[in-house]
Amino acid sequence: MNKKEIKKSLVPYAFLLIFFVGCLIFFNIFDNKVNELTYDEFIKDLNGGKVTELTITPKVRTETYKLVGKLDDYKENESFILYLPYSDEFISKITDAKETTSNFELTIENDPEASSWLAAIVEVIPILILAGVTIWIFTRQIGGSNKSMDFGKSRAKLVEESRATFKDVAGLTEEKEEVQELIDFLKNPKKFTNMGARIPKGVLLVGPPGTGKTLLARAVAGEAKVPFYYISGSDFVELFVGIGASRVRDMFKQAKMNAPCLIFIDEIDAVGRQRGTGLGGGHDEREQTLNQLLTEMDGFGANEGIIIIAATNRPDVLDPALLRPGRFDRQVTVSLPDKNARIEILKVHAKNKILDKNITLEYLAKRTPGFSGADLENLLNEAALLAVRRNKKEITMSEIDEATDRVLMGPAKVTKKYTDKEKKLVAFHEAGHAVMGLKLDGANEVQKITIIPRGHAGGYTMMTPKEEAFNYTKNELLEAICGLLGGRVAEEVTFSEITTGAHDDFKKATKIARSMVTEYGMSNLGPMMLEEPDGNTFLGRDYTKNRNISDTVAHEIDEEMRSIINSCYEKTKKIITENKELLSLIANTLLEEETITKEEIDYLVENGHLPKNDQQSKNDKPLAEEKKEETPKKNKKNIKKEDTE
């Protein structure tokens, strides 16, 4: 909420405060003290000369006198009040006292109640003002921006014209072609109706988070230049049953008034999950909302000119009725970008960045396989932040490297101290991965090795596929497992002991081996699908599912997995043993430099030492390294160590 909205919401409360203070002043109860006297007390004070002021007001309707005045010992805000019946004797006593003492001011006023219209104003006007203020505040709360009583209204926000276009969407060439028909239909629907074609009523965008599904939907609206409603799936479901269905009805009602238009539902799996699943049955409110959505999309009524675009990264949990033709007719898979797509995405996000001339986006795209569009944007933003912290005028490769490590593993923990033994173990562990990457064609290519702790890891080796592929051979998978086991084998061969550092490596290797046996048919069990590739979505299915394999087959699966891992382990051990000199060379270089890149590794393997003339700037070390205590004098060895880090 901005300052203008805050001030606007405080106006009714400020008005009420002013009105309340005015009432206090109007009725004379703002710090005034009024004493009620009896007739005897008043006569005693009157005869004793204590009365200093006296005002007499006759009350015609009640036939009484109202006496208000002050005594000589009263304070400034103190007074007395007295009511007496009509009496000539009373008036004569006051007159005698005035003539005798002459020490008080006597005032006789007319009765204000003698005029009927004045009495009506005094009694009715305050009530009317209070009732009007109450009605104004109540109607403002209902019909204004807060809408506290407006449960059933749609929460979809309307954008009259989206500013995003296809120029803002990079790397989604095929996906943009799939939705181009929607734009043509919204611009010229007769071209399709004359041919007897029916445009898809709904398009479901499926893909991992951060791949640009929402941006693509906004670009479709921007290209078509039509109104654009957007809402999240969670905005439909509320505490009260029936509210979600009411909001769906109201959303389509508003959309019909602005047709042709687009409706974008983000994270539709929040409301579109399969009905009747789970241990305790379905959620009544969510299922009613889904039923209403199904009816509005393709029921007895027609929603001409309304196209729905929805996005989710969990299509497996959606209800089948939602995915049938006539509702979401088309599914567009927005997958992670390949190398060429990453180059296009980097061009978009690098427009306002000042990059060093030596940085090529093609090289950066090659080093970031598996990154989504959001990851790439975050990578360049982190690099820009690092360049500002280091007081640089442009983003260099050092900031790119550090930003990549931050995105993948977290910031460097340079202050975390290793013992000499731990540091040596980590160095040989990471060097083992590097040796396997160098000696096996199917293993991933080593891009960077560091023994500086990041996140939960004491060090890590950044390895990327030599070439991006959709399919992998059995030999490539086996060599990938060997690459993962290289760290553990290096520990065993060098120190004759093992550590817990290979925990994550084993997790990945075991997953690959199990997939080879149960999904890919790459074992002695034959070409059989023994397990589904994705786990069960609902807890209820886990308890009620039927097993497709016997206990004997389950035991054979375990044996095959063990056989794959053990054979890869022996192969890895043989390669590491045959290349102990290379292992020691890389490990000892890591102990000295702490971080080495792919180019340095290649030079090290070929020449046995790092290049002496290709030194980086002292500012090109990790940001956390800059916090180290600096010494007044540094020899060449120390300078070299800091530069490579």
Position of tokens 């445009």? 199
Q: Which listed residue (175, 399, 402, 430) is catalytic?
A: 430
**How far is residue 561 from each of residues 482, 487, 521, measured CA to CA in Å?**
14, 20, 12
Position of tokens 């043993």? 577
Instruction: Check: CB of residue 48 under 8 Å from CB of residue 54.
Output: no
Instruction: Check: CB of residue 512 under 8 Å from CB of residue 563.
Output: no
Cα separation, 262 vs 201, in Å, equals: 10
Cα separation, 539 vs 278, in Å, equals: 6
Residues 6+ positions from 351 with CB-CB distance below 8 Å? none
Cα separation, 404 vs 483, in Å, equals: 22
Cα separation, 19 vs 8, in Å, equals: 18
**How far is residue 210 from each of residues 98, 468, 614, measured CA to CA in Å?**
94, 20, 37
Tally of CB atoms within 10 A around 287: 19
Tally of CB atoms within 10 A around 404: 21
Cα separation, 8 vs 144, in Å, equals: 11
**SS3 state at 310:** strand
Based on the residue annotation, tell me whether 394 is a catalytic residue of this protein: no
Cα separation, 288 vs 495, in Å, equals: 64
Structure tokens that stand for 554 in this block = 């389950």
Q: State the alpha helices, DSSP H only, in 27-155.
A: 39-47, 88-101, 116-143
Instruction: Check: CB of residue 170 under 8 Å from CB of residue 344.
Output: yes
- Residue 444's closest CA among 499, 364, 505, 489? 505
Tally of CB atoms within 10 A around 289: 26
Task: Give strand pairing partners of 310.
Answer: 204, 265
Instruction: Check: CB of residue 395 under 8 Å from CB of residue 383.
Output: yes
Cα separation, 534 vs 541, in Å, equals: 13
Cα separation, 378 vs 346, in Å, equals: 11
- Residue 406's closest CA among 86, 98, 623, 150? 623
Task: Give strand pairing partners of 260.
Answer: none
**How far is residue 403 from each of residues 395, 415, 620, measured CA to CA in Å?**
11, 19, 12
Q: State the alpha helices, DSSP H only, in 298-446.
A: 320-323, 339-349, 361-366, 373-389, 397-409, 420-439
- Residue 406's closest CA among 433, 437, 434, 385? 385
Pairing assessment for the beta strands 202-206 and 78-85 based on DSSP bridges: unpaired
Task: Give strand pairing partners of 597.
Answer: 448
Instruction: Check: CB of residue 400 under 8 Å from CB of residue 392.
Output: no
First CA to last CA distance, the chain: 45
**Per-residue b or e along 124-162, where b marks 16 or more CB atoms closer than 10 Å to that residue's CB:** eeeeeeeeeeeeeeeeebeeeeeeeeeeeebebeebeeb
Any idea what DSSP says for residue 418?
P
Residues 6+ positions from 599 with CB-CB distance below 8 Å? none
Residues serving a catalytic function are: 430
